[in-house]
Amino acid sequence: MKKFRFLILPFILFVSACGWFKSPPEIGKVLSEHFKNKIYKDFDTVAYDSIFVKTIDSLSGKFVNPKTIKAFYSNHSAEPKLVTQFYINGELDSLVSYLDQCKAHGFNPKIFKTDEIKALLDELSANKFKRVDESYPVIAKLELLAANAYLNYTNYLKYGVVNPRTIFSRYYIKVRRPDSAGMINLLNSTSLLDTLRSVQPKSAQYKALQAAYLNTDAYDEKRILLLNMERFRWKMPETGDNYVQVNIPDFRLTWLDKQDTVITMKVCVGGRRENGYEEKLKAFAKSGNLDDKPKNHETPLLFSKINSIQANPIWNIPVSIAQSEIYWMARKDPYYLSNSNIKVYYKDKLIGEPDTINWNRYSRDKLPFKFKQGSGGGNALGKFKFIFDNSSSIYLHDTNNKNGFNLTNRAISHGCVRIEKPLQFAELLVKDSYTYDKLRAEVDLPPIDSTHVKWYKKRMAQKADTLKAFQLKPAWFAPKKNVPLIITYITAWSQNDKIEYRPDVYGMDEKLWTAMKKFR
C-alpha cells in the first residue's frame, strides 16, 4: 500500500498542475460574474496556457524586457493577472488613457501599441464570444500587450527612454536604470492607477519644460525642449540640497542651497572634439601615427564630491599635452621649459638643466620624460586647484589667463574646468575665518581677521629674505565638509519663469535626438 501511494502521488501532482482537478480559475469567475455569461465557467487553463505560450512567443521579440515578462508569467502559471485584477475595476482603461496622453511627454502612443490594446478591450467588452475558447487569444494578447505597455510607460517616465552611458563616451554619471526586480514589483502592483500617477515627473524644471513644449508649434524649439525633458527624467545621483553644478553649455558654475544661489560664476570647459573625430580615430588606430590622432578635450560629465583645495598647485602635465604641445615648444625654444617653470623628469629623477636636452634624439610618441610645472604666477592652474575623486583626472582650477572668461564660447580648455572666482569659491568651501586667512596667506593676500596679521607678516618676511631661498610649495586645505559636484549638460531649462536656451556645444543634442528617434 505504501508503494502504491508513492506511485500515485506524482500522477496526482501532474494532473493537478494541468488543471484537471482545479475549480474554475479566477479569470473565469471574474468574467463570468461581470458579463453574467456562463461560458467563462468552463475556462480551461490547459487550453488557455497553450494559446498563451504561442502568443508570448509571437509577441516577445518586440518587447523591451521579454525575459522579465516571461519570468513573471512563468512564476504565475501564465495567469492573466492584469486582466483579472484591472479589467473589471476600469484600471486597464485608465492605462489606455495615460498611454493616449503620452504625447504630453513627447512620446508617440504607437510605441505602446495603444490602438491594439483598445481594440482588444473593446472585443472583450463586447461579450460576443459563443465559446469560451474564442476568448483565450484575446485575453492572452490583451494581458501581454498591457503588461509590456505598462512597464515601458512606467520605466520611460521614471528613468528616461535612453541610458546616456550607452551613447555618450564621456558620460560617467551613474544614472539608475530599471531592473528586473523593480519591474516584477510593478507587475505585482495592487493598483495600476496609483503607479501611473506616482511616476509622473514632479520636478519644477520638468513641468516648466513640458508646459513650454505643449505651448509651441516651432519644430526646433519642441525638439530642444523634448531633449531636455528626457535629461530631467534620468535618475541622477542624490546631490542633496547643497551642491555645486557646472553646466557645460551654459559655461557656468552655480552653487545651490535648496532653491537659493550661493554663488555663480563663468567657467571655461574642454574644447569640442575635432570634426570627423570618429573617422580620424579609426585612421589613427590603423596608422599609430600621432599626427593622425584627433583632438578630444571635451570635459566629461560626472558626479563626485569636492574634498580638498590646493593653493599654489603643481601641474602634472598629461602625456597627451606633453606630446602635442610641450614637445614642440621645447624644440622651438630651448629656454621654454625653464622660462615656464617646467621641470623635466627622467625615470622619476629631476633633470637639472632641461635646456640642454637634445630633442632631436626623441620622437614625441615615445617621450621618456615627465613634465611638471611648478607653483607660481605662471602656472597654468593659477593659484587654486579644487579636487574631487574621478577617473579622468579632472578638477576645477584657477587660471593664469583670465581672458578666456570674456569669450562667448568658453569651450577652450584641455578638459578641466577653469573657474572665474576661485578665491570666493575657496572661502565658501572652508567656511572658517582662520582657515581662510591661512589660505589667503599662501597666495600673498593679507588676512581678513586683524588678529592673523602677525603670522601673515612672518610669512612675507620669509619670502623676502634674500639670504634664504624661499621655495613656493603647494599647500593643502580641507573644506568644512565635502560638497557634491555634478558636471552636467543641459541646453534648455527654466529660470525666472522663462526658458533659457544654450548652444549644443559638444553636439550631444544631436546624438541624443538620434537615440530617441524610435520613441517619437
Does the structure show a pLDDT above 50 at 226? yes
Going by C-alpha positions, the residue among 56, 76, 77 that lies closest to residue 67 is 56
For 87-178, strand residue ranges (E) read none
pLDDT, position 464? 79
pLDDT-based confidence at residue 467 (cuts at 50, 70, 90): low
At residue 364, the pLDDT reads 87
**Domain presence at residue 329:** no
Task: Say yes or no to pLDDT of 2 above 90.
Answer: no
CA distance 504 to 359: 41
Q: Which residues of 324-351 are buried (b: 16+ CB within 10 A; e: fewer)?
A: eebbeebeeeeebbeebbbbbeeeeeee
| Alpha-carbon span 24 to 128, nearest angstrom | 20
| Domain annotation covers residue 277 | no
3-state secondary structure 124-168: HHHCCCCCHHHHHHHHHHHHHHHHHHHHHHHHHHHHCCCCHHHHC
Tell me whether residue 429 is in a domain.
no
Q: Based on the structure, what is the number of domains in the chain?
A: 1
Average pLDDT, the chain: 92
Asked if residue 58 belongs to a domain, the reply is yes
Percent of the chain with pLDDT over 90: 83
* Residue 129 counted as domain residue: yes
pLDDT tens, position by position, 82-121: 999 999 999 999 999 999 999 999 999 999 999 999 999 9
Q: Residue 386: which of 303, 306, 266, 441 has the closest Cα? A: 306
Which range, of 15-24, 110-119, 446-455, averages the lowest pLDDT?
15-24
Tell me: the pLDDT tens digits for 252-280? 999 999 989 999 999 999 999 999 988 88
277-303 pLDDT, tens digit per residue, is 888 889 889 888 888 888 899 999 999
At a CB cut-off of 8 Å and minimum separation 6, what does 428 contact? 255, 262, 263
What is the pLDDT averaged over residues 397-416? 96
The cell for 23 is: 475549480
Q: Average pLDDT of 191-219?
A: 97
Maximum C-alpha span of the chain? 110
Torsion of Cα atoms, 399 then 405 then 409 then 414, to 10°: 0
104 assigned to some structural domain:
yes
Computed from CA positions of residues 422, 424, 425, 427, in that sequence, does the dihedral angle turn out positive or negative? positive
pLDDT of amino acid 416: 97
Distance CA(66)–CA(147), nearest Å, equals: 11
Beta partners for residue 265, in sequence order: 253
Q: What is the pLDDT of residues 328-353, one digit of tens each?
A: 999 999 899 999 999 999 999 999 89
Q: Which of 207, 91, 71, 232 is nearest to 149 (CA)?
A: 91
Question: Which of 6 and 435 is assigned the larger pLDDT?
Answer: 435
Enumerate the active-site residues: 397, 416
In a domain? residue 237: no
pLDDT at 518 over 60: yes
Q: Which of 31-45, 83-97, 235-249, 461-475 has the lowest mean pLDDT?
A: 461-475
Q: Does pLDDT of 305 surpass 80?
A: yes
Helices (H), 188-289: 192-198, 204-214, 219-233, 277-287
**pLDDT band for position 321 (50/70/90)?**
very high
Segment 477-504 shows an average pLDDT of 97
Within-domain flag for 332:
no
pLDDT tens-place string over residues 126-148:
999 999 999 999 999 999 999 99
Q: How far apart are CA 178 and CA 502, in angstroms?
A: 30
Lowest mean pLDDT among 175-184, 398-407, 431-440, 451-460: 451-460
Distance (Å, whole) CA 385 – CA 394: 10
Provide the residue range defining the domain that includes 49: 26-199
- Chain centroid, CA 256 distance in Å: 19
